[in-house]
Amino acid sequence: MAVGGFTKLPGGSVVVALGLPHPGCPDRTVRVVVHALNRQRALTRLSNLGFRGARLTGNAEPPTPDEVTAVLHHPDGLVWREYDSAELWHPISTLNRTVRQDRS
């Protein structure tokens, strides 16, 4: 089960942050942050990207202000980085590219 949480924004949308296994390397964990109209749509976006087991139960690790800012300033509204890392946020397309390289 993924550890994460959500924050409701003043406009009614939400930012959801989850720690999920890296799709190409299950022993690594990534923190994925999604901006969506509601929690269910955020989880659907992740499911459509291949994170089929993404579930949000509770609000144990809500997104930090840094995570909210990063996802709101990204055109796709979906970013990731290694879990518990200080590296910069990456667009989700780079995670998918990394998966393809790992499989070849």
Do you know the residue count of the chain? 104
Q: Which domain holds residue 19?
A: 3-103
pTM of the entire structure?
0.84
Question: On the CB side of 92, how many CA atoms lie within 13 Å of its CA?
Answer: 20
How many domains, in total, are found in the chain?
A: 1
Specify which residues 91 forms β-bridges with.
79
Q: Which H or E run includes 96?
A: helix 92-103
Cβ proximity of 36 and 42 under 8 Å: yes
For residue 52, the SS3 value is coil
Residue 98, pLDDT > 90, answer no
- Per residue in 26-66, pLDDT (tens digit) is 788 889 999 999 999 999 998 888 887 778 877 889 999 99
Q: CA-CA distance, 25 to 5, in Å (whole number)?
A: 23
What is the average pLDDT across 62-84?
A: 92
Tokens of 96: 């998918």
